[in-house]
A and B are shown apart, each in its own frame.
Chain A
Amino acid sequence: MSEYLSAEELKQHFSDIHPPFEHAEGAILEANRCINCYDAPCTKSCPTSIDVPLFIKQISSGNIKGSARTIFSSNIMGGGCSKVCPVEKLCEGACVYNLREEEPISIAKLQRYSTEKAIHEKWSLFERKPSNGKKVAVVGAGPAGLACAHALSLEGIDVTVFEKEGKGGGLMTYGVAAYKVTPESCQDEVDYITSIGGIDIQYNKELGKDVTLAGLQKEFDAVFVGIGVGVARELNIPGENLKGVVDAISFIYDLRTNDYSKITVGDKVAVIGMGMTAIDAATQSKRLGAKEVTMIYRRTEQEKPCTDVELDLAKLDGCLFEWLASPKEIIGENGKLKKLVCSKMKLGEPDSSGRRAPVDTGEIFTIEVDMIIKAAGQIPFEELVSGSALQNKGGKISINTSGETNLKGVFAGGDAVNGGKEVVDAVQAGKDGAKGILQYLKLSY
């Protein structure tokens, strides 16, 4: 196992990768670069449709409060999203400056400027309507659940959120690289969201254990299920159960819930997968002190699910890459992890995702490892979902266009429905769920 780094080194390795504007002047200078597009591509590329030109204009006019309200009224997790969104494929990726071969407007950084100020100064930007006596249960205090709870509370509904962990924020708190968001900023964001009142989060209450869907249906006027997705997909290869083979979500969860110095990381780490979580796991391993981190992906760089910006993070951290490689077997010695055997792949015909499918060439190669992190996608809570009467596809809850499940008054959204997308997608799903619930409760049409 790797030697521990000093506290100073760890602090440096996990400092903010996208530092904020130091001064108002910087934000205003950048805000003034924005040309205020009409029917703006950035807004259209945001899953929550934040009115980007408006909030940027508000920064440049010195109306920071208005700017924060513009952001939060579309995306109540606009603070966290400004740090974790893959903006290069969303708002900033669509910025018209790209078409002039110029740097896009730093939309995320500007969004962070306004939202951080709002959260830090505890600006009260929304007022909830008086309580109307309706009660809604939200399962999961992640981005979808919190967005749903906030939208419902605004309309005067009393919301109770059941969260299995000890903190809110979901994947934001437990599943994102530590150099993107800090535990404190996640906590501040949850507190800020709930500060409008009418939202009671009950921590350490797990669906299926401490509460049941049937019980919630009885006790509440409606239910929103935003339980996210669970552990990493199994590799289904020999040796998977050896000590030293961990799943990326648990690895990042440990990292986010413990002191960095207490986390064990290997000397030679292999990370399976090339999504955002895989990148997070690889870079965090490296930053914890792993000597060699190799990322294994069965297709080529062209088909990778992460963005170029994310891949660059891993490259800059010195990670190695094995493209067109698929894990075949994990070999241990005396119960210790030793080797990872991979099949060499080549690209075949396009599969259902439209990307060319990897095909085994029959050749193999082996790399020395003492730790393997599985990050080839997450799987839904199939057992939990199937155990209820919820209609689902392999654990992914099925909903109609109003966000309602097959059970009357039970709505769902976020990763639990889509199988795992961005935080910003979950926020929109939460908003959609709230809209459906308000219609269901005849509080809006």
Chain B
Amino acid sequence: MANLQSNFLGIKSPNPFWLASAPPTDKKINVLRAFEAGWGGVVWKTLGSQVKNVSSRYSTLDYNGQKVMGFNNIELISDRPLEINLQEIREVLKLFPDRAMVVSLMADNDRKSWHELVKKTQDTGAHGIELNFGCPHGMVERGMGAAVGQDPEIAKMVVEWVMEVAKIPVITKLSPNVHSVVPIGKSVIKGGTNGLSLINTIQSVTGIDLDTLVPNPNVGGKSVFGGYCGPAVKPIALKMLTTLAQDPDTRNIPVSGIGGISTWRDAVEFMLLGASNVQVCTAAMHYGFRIVRDMCDGLSNWMDEKGYTSTSDFIGLSVPKITRWEELDINYHIIANIDQSKCIHCGLCYIACEDTSHQSISIEKGMPYNTYTVKDEECVGCNLCKIVCPVDDCITMEEHRKGPEYLNWIEFQKRGLPLNDH
């Protein structure tokens, strides 16, 4: 059996699955339920000056009957009294001493407020602090959250204030609402943060009610930009995570991966691109805390199959497999092949290729089933037919190299090799 134990900045947890700072972690009753369900740790919902929330608060992106492809919220930081939150954190720590307890913080934007909040938090016995520099809604207008996280200098200053008093590990959570997370990452590392986490939510409008014309979520006839998360943001989060792993100034700092993680597979992907552990929210909000069971089980089985005994065995292994475009091998060439014995004659490969790609599939009309065949000489190996094919392994991409040796674009140009003539 693989060992799922995780150690992030010295914060130990029985598995690498933490619940992200969000509604699921905003009070004792939820967090106890999460720990009973098996979560390795939590990042307690952001504490700061008490706020007031509105209703409604959430909206989603649904697609072809699949609910919650993306999730959007306009909830603020904790709207409960600070003292109650701190008391409950103490109580949970006593009941579950083996789980990671990290507390998300967002103080008013002055040194004194941050000092006070950090001190009060570490007095509870919490294992770590996560700085919320990413919340894109509500708090920004007050000069907090993403307003801090979008400005490297302000972010660094706040981190420095925190580090002046912090006695437990400090994680800085980055906002994706920037053109690159790297400058901020570098800046807060200079400020002294122990680790990073990303991504926070992405500013969004999920949709509009076509009867009332009010965008979602509707708060008494008006809406605001919300923070977008859930499965749809995973690719963006993975990309941002990779940019940290690729930069020499940020690659060595531990990162907690966040952004649309719903299954153990998603978690493994984040870890392969450098995340030491992961944080989950939307999937739990969709299905409840029980999802952690398959996350642990699936991860363990995958690790056993691959021969990994601990998570550190595979963290970051895919980072070197993302390169720059000009280093890709131009001689690598694949051609689609349709397995006629598996084909169900839906024609999706044909129409996708014919209308929107390279007209590389021929059609032979039949009644009622047509036959589709790849024109090998026309196929550019784009994957589109394989992507739209509803049958697993019906279309496979087969390797037909253009040349035996590795040839990249720089070399291609140097040699003055010919471009396409059509």
Contacts and interface: CB of A to CB of B under 8 A. Distances in A.
B369 A32 contact: no
19 contacts: A28-B65, A29-B65, A35-B346, A37-B345, A37-B347, A38-B347, A38-B348, A39-B363, A39-B370, A40-B347, A41-B369, A44-B368, A60-B64, A94-B368, A96-B344, A99-B344, A99-B345, A100-B344, A100-B391
Contacts of B391: 100
Nearest to A98: B344
A37 B344 CA distance: 10
B351 interface: yes
Contacts of B390: 35
A121 B403 CA distance: 66
A366 interface: no
Given A35-B390, A39-B370, A41-B368, A60 B65 contact: yes
Interface of B: 64-65, 344-348, 350-351, 363, 365, 367-370, 390-391
Interface in A98-116: 99-100
B207 to A, nearest CB: 13
What does DSSP make chain A's interface, helix, strand, loop or mixed?
helix
A36 B348 contact: yes
A94 B390 CA distance: 17
A96 B346 CA distance: 6
Contacts of B65: 28-29, 31-32, 60
Contact of B367 (A38, A44, A97, A100): A44
A35 B64 contact: no
Interface in A5-32: 28-29, 31-32
Contacts of A38: 346-348, 350-351
Contacts of B344: 96-97, 99-100
Contact of A35 (B348, B365, B369): B348
Nearest to B389: A35
Among A36, A37, A45, A94, chain B packs the most CB atoms within 10 A around the CB of A37
B384 to A, nearest CB: 14
A97 to B, nearest CB: 8
Interface size class of A (residues with CB under 8 A): 20 to 34
A40 B370 CA distance: 9
A32 B347 CA distance: 17
A34 to B, nearest CB: 10
A94 B348 CA distance: 16
Among B345, B346, B348, chain A packs the most CB atoms within 10 A around the CB of B346
B395 to A, nearest CB: 14
Nearest to A38: B347
A337 to B, nearest CB: 46
Contacts of A36: 348
A243 B369 CA distance: 51
Interface of A: 28-29, 31-32, 35-42, 44-45, 60, 94, 96-97, 99-100
B346 to A, nearest CB: 4
A35 B391 CA distance: 11
Contacts of A96: 344-346
Given A45-B368, A94-B368, A100-B391, A37 B348 contact: yes
Nearest to B65: A32
Nearest to A99: B344
B317 to A, nearest CB: 35
A100 B65 CA distance: 22
Contacts of A94: 368-369
Given A28-B65, A94-B369, 5 more contacts: A31-B65, A41-B368, A41-B369, A44-B368, A100-B391
Contacts of B370: 39
A37 B351 CA distance: 9
B209 to A, nearest CB: 12
Nearest to A41: B368
A123 B348 CA distance: 33
A260 to B, nearest CB: 39
Contacts of B363: 39
Please list the 9 inter-chain residue pairs (A to B) with the smallest Cβ-Cβ separation, ordered nearest first: A38-B347, A32-B65, A41-B368, A38-B351, A96-B344, A37-B346, A99-B344, A44-B368, A94-B368
A45 B369 CA distance: 10
A100 to B, nearest CB: 6
B291 to A, nearest CB: 22
Contacts of A40: 347
B332 to A, nearest CB: 30
A42 B346 CA distance: 10
A36 to B, nearest CB: 7
A286 to B, nearest CB: 35
A39 B347 contact: yes
A29 B365 CA distance: 31
Contacts of A100: 344, 391
Contacts of A31: 65
Contacts of B64: 32, 60
A38 to B, nearest CB: 3
A125 to B, nearest CB: 21
Contacts of A32: 64-65
Nearest to B369: A41
A37 B346 CA distance: 4
Nearest to A57: B64
Among A28, A29, A44, A60, chain B packs the most CB atoms within 10 A around the CB of A44
Given A28-B65, A94-B368, A41 B345 contact: yes
A99 B390 CA distance: 12
Contacts of B350: 38
Contacts of A28: 65
A39 B346 CA distance: 8
Among A28, A35, A36, A38, chain B packs the most CB atoms within 10 A around the CB of A38
Contacts of A35: 346, 348, 390
Nearest to A62: B210
B196 to A, nearest CB: 39
A44 B347 CA distance: 13
Nearest to B354: A38
Contacts of A44: 367-368
A40 B365 CA distance: 11
